[in-house]
Chains A and B, each alone.
Chain A
């Protein structure tokens, strides 16, 4: 029973992380109709940036002040938002009217670039690092022998807060309305006076900022940060992407639902079947969804005009 609860706790925490990354994929797909392969690498940069900030600001000492985490969170979100906007402006915008395949290849190029530059000596290097504990590693409450750690609670609460903020932004503000307009019909939105370029930049910025938050939370929860071209990051990003697709790509609520689903499958599969095959379970879900309902759980099928 305690195993069940532990797995449940892990699933929710992991699901929250996946959700933060998945949202970046789904937001960009919503406005540009393309999969930003480089998104998971922004997440990686976010994790590493948090680490670099934490150590340079001297928070590696045991007595970390309360303001340390929020400060680093905001800083890395800002850095990654800037990175995301830069990528869009430099690499994707020139190809706005080009065939889809070209942009996909460019996205892969950007992804590779980020991964491999991140490994260079003068950037992050190839040595795995350990994230300083900005959050005290203590158990908040114990239920059925399972310790609910502060870290996990923070992850879930922070992710939840960001998600609700995003929901409010998209459905209750003028900016959100503009974003939804652009995702429905870019040309008409621009005719209605919406600055499409600005909206797209903002969308990238928001998605990247969320990924950065995910990166910091990931670093806090799992502590070990591997080199940027390591397969673990690729897999993480891939699984978050699967979450977005399963939920219905382009659909914000779907991304969250998909993320939780994927995390549950992965965690329960690892706990009760085989921990080595955790990645496999996620891909099986992807294959099944793509075969049965490619538009995802909450997505709508798009009819192409012939």
Chain B
């Protein structure tokens, strides 16, 4: 089975600092993979490499067999790779519905001219876009806020809106950057079941970055661990949890005095 997202030997250096070193990844369709590591490990940098925000110095990226190297982020999104952001990046002044509409409209066939002339094709597509956007908002549980300004939303709903917006582009792979950061236990619980349900509902593979170990170990089928840009472990949850290198990266090596006592 061809993996829907594949990275081979990605490397990126900022001046003398190696941000990402020889990163590889293989995500099957509808899979749920996780990327963890201490702060500053380069996780978001990996996302930025995959989505085309940074150009890798070395390595290849494939989406459903299509090579993505050197493409602009918008082209990559159109190819089917969508993402959310660590520090939420919504279109604040626009309404919740509009946030999703802009992403959904990317797949429309009618261009600028048809919008200005209001041709039947345009009108039909707009209707379909609005309906699909409301549908998405409903699945994410925020349809009742469709008319509100995005920046006025409570934090948890903002994260949901980001996910709805990313899903509107009809992606094959969804990258979630810390989807439950800053949430309480109840919200995290709801988010957890939501993320799991997305895979079958939208036929999408999910690759997420998270710091909440409980969530990651629970729902991810495969976990990659990054530290200082280097992949120190990769595999199923149990294996990664017990890997000494992973423990060292997160908790450090016991002090010599401590070890002795």
Within 8 Å by CB, do A and B touch in the complex? yes
* Interface residues in chain A, defined as those with a beta carbon under 8 Å from any beta carbon in chain B: 303, 306
CA of A306 to CA of B84 in the docked complex: distance in angstroms? 11
Contact call A306/B14, Cβ cutoff below 8 A? no
CA of A127 to CA of B78 in the docked complex: distance in angstroms? 61
Nearest-CB distance from A300 to chain B (Å)?
A: 10
Query: What sequence of 0s and 1s flags, for each residue 51-86 of chain B, a beta carbon within 8 Å of any chain A beta carbon?
Result: 001000000000000000000000000000000010
Q: Does B44 reach chain A (CB closer than 8 Å)?
A: yes
Contact call B48/A303, Cβ cutoff below 8 A? no
Nearest-CB distance from A186 to chain B (Å)?
A: 19
CA of A303 to CA of B48 in the docked complex: distance in angstroms? 13
CA of A57 to CA of B53 in the docked complex: distance in angstroms? 61
Chain A positions within 8 Å of B44 at CB level = 306
Contact call A303/B14, Cβ cutoff below 8 A? yes
Closest 3 CB pairs of A and B: A306-B53, A306-B48, A303-B14
CA of A21 to CA of B48 in the docked complex: distance in angstroms? 40
Nearest-CB distance from A299 to chain B (Å)?
A: 15
CA of A306 to CA of B19 in the docked complex: distance in angstroms? 14
CA of A199 to CA of B226 in the docked complex: distance in angstroms? 41
Chain A positions within 8 Å of B53 at CB level = 306
Chain A, Cβ-Cβ closest to B51: A306
Chain B positions within 8 Å of A303 at CB level = 14
CA of A289 to CA of B232 in the docked complex: distance in angstroms? 43
Listed by A's residue number, 5 A-B pairs whose Cβ atoms lie within 8 Å are: A303-B14, A306-B44, A306-B48, A306-B53, A306-B85
Chain A positions within 8 Å of B48 at CB level = 306
Chain A, Cβ-Cβ closest to B44: A306
Nearest-CB distance from B36 to chain A (Å)?
A: 20
Chain A positions within 8 Å of B85 at CB level = 306
CA of A306 to CA of B54 in the docked complex: distance in angstroms? 10
Chain A, Cβ-Cβ closest to B89: A306
CA of A6 to CA of B53 in the docked complex: distance in angstroms? 51
Nearest-CB distance from A102 to chain B (Å)?
A: 14
Q: In chain B, residues 170-195, which have Cβ atoms closer than 8 Å to a Cβ of chain A? A: none
Chain A, Cβ-Cβ closest to B47: A306
CA of A3 to CA of B57 in the docked complex: distance in angstroms? 51
Chain B, Cβ-Cβ closest to A304: B53
CA of A180 to CA of B148 in the docked complex: distance in angstroms? 44
CA of A303 to CA of B85 in the docked complex: distance in angstroms? 17
Nearest-CB distance from A3 to chain B (Å)?
A: 46
Chain A, Cβ-Cβ closest to B14: A303
Nearest-CB distance from B94 to chain A (Å)?
A: 16
Chain A, Cβ-Cβ closest to B83: A306
